[in-house]
Amino acid sequence: MPYNCLRMDSRNKAGDTKPRTKPRRLHAFWERVTEGKKIQQLWGQFVSEAKASYGLYSKDVDWEDIGRARSRFARFWRAVWAMFTAMLMKLSPSRRVLLLLAVILELMSIDIGSDAETRSNFVLGVVGMAILFILLALELADRVTMKRDLEIAREIQQWLVPELAPKIDGIEIAFATRPQNTVAGDYYDAFFRPLTPQQSAAPLMVAVADVAGKSVPAALLMATFQASLRALAITPVPLGEIVDGLDRYCRAHSLDGRRFTTAFLAEIDPQTRQMNYVNAGHNDPVLRRASGNIERLATGGPPFGLPSLTDTPIAYRSARVQLQPGDLLIIFTDGVVEAVNDSDAEYGEARLLANIESAPQESSDATLKRIMSDVNAFVGPARQHDDITCLVLRVTA
């Protein structure tokens, strides 16, 4: 082969690496930006976030006043101004001034006249864009700082709940939680209480609770609820006294009932499989017997922390249930059944019951994953509206 041909061939081979390197870098950058999500997933996420943001701003708008405008054109501009004002007032005073300045500069840059005016307007537009970019950077910095603080709060919250379920012969326990925000107001626990002389085995305490509200305020109250339950549970008192103590504590810290707590508390004898429980205004757990029959555990009373007309403690009722091999107990918070999709349709208890009724003889972990996957498939890309928590207990022997 002639030398020129060899040189051209070597150039082509060497040149092949350059065009390939750039697309790879672009692809890697795109994957990092999108976190591997497809365009449909990104669009669905954007739509759900846009709906949530619209709800945040629109609640500050007086839509009745806008509706009194005479023409559609007037109503449109009133709505635009009202939404802009709602967004503006979410900022600090200094950032409000910057945003107004940026908008004014952008509007001034629209006018097109002579070449000199065009260049001047172009400069105004660039300055306006620069101010908007600075505002974006400031808001992102605040968001990153807040997210870091929330991540620390989430780590602390994770210390308050068990990472692994206790090992019990003949009983399997699995649990999962997904906060609506970084931290949650949902609580779940499973631990052994101290053994008393009257007992042959340390009783197992199982708890699932839901503090009214979301995010940081609910998470703080959840932490105090956990501490109260743990403190009461280490004392040799029956379940009824623990429930009364929790109600007294919650009433003293519920902000006149605005931060009440629903809870399901159960004490199980690991040897006899007898379960004593109290349902304090919580979603009725589902007990599917080995025969396939469904029972709802509703005995108890109102949520903890509701204001009372008298200082007399609320008399919570308890009930006893004998668990048998093959029984399946599902305890969940309202975030499971009230999960909504893009059409604002709720997942509902009917779907949950159908899922539980069709559950095969599988591990508690497999049942939990199937329930959570079914909820996720129903919700799709819609934004989560509440904390989701589920605990599954299966009696195997």
Other Cβ atoms less than 10 A from the Cβ of 294: the count is 12
Report yes or no: 254 and 306 within 8 Å, Cβ to Cβ: yes
In CATH terms, the fold of domain 163-395 is Phosphatase 2c; domain 1 (3.60.40)
Domain-by-domain residue ranges, the chain? Answer: 18-155, 163-395
Strand partners of residue 321: 275
Length reported for the chain: 397
Q: What is the pTM of this model?
A: 0.72
Question: Which residue, 33, 86, 92, 30, is CA-closest to 62?
Answer: 86
Q: C-alpha 147: how far from its chain's center?
A: 14
Cα separation, 315 vs 240, whole angstroms: 9
Q: Give the closest residue to 234 by CA, choosing from 263, 199, 265, 192.
A: 192
Tokens representing residue 337 in the block: 């059944």
* SS3 of residue 150 by DSSP: helix
Return per-residue pLDDT of the chain as tens, 397 residues. 454 544 444 444 545 545 567 788 888 888 888 887 788 777 777 877 787 788 878 888 888 888 888 888 888 888 888 888 888 898 899 999 999 998 888 888 876 555 666 677 778 888 889 999 999 888 888 888 877 877 777 777 777 888 888 999 999 999 999 888 777 789 999 999 988 777 778 999 999 999 887 778 788 888 889 999 999 999 989 999 999 999 988 888 766 656 789 999 999 999 999 999 999 999 999 999 999 999 999 999 999 988 765 566 788 999 999 999 999 999 999 999 999 988 889 999 999 999 999 888 899 999 999 999 999 999 888 888 889 999 999 999 8
Token duo for residue 151: 């991540």
93 to each of 58, 90, 99, 334, how far by Cα in Å? 20, 9, 10, 39
Q: Are strands 319-322 and 388-395 parallel, antiparallel or unpaired?
A: unpaired
Residue 166 makes CB contacts below 8 A (sequence gap 6+) with 173, 190, 191, 192, 204
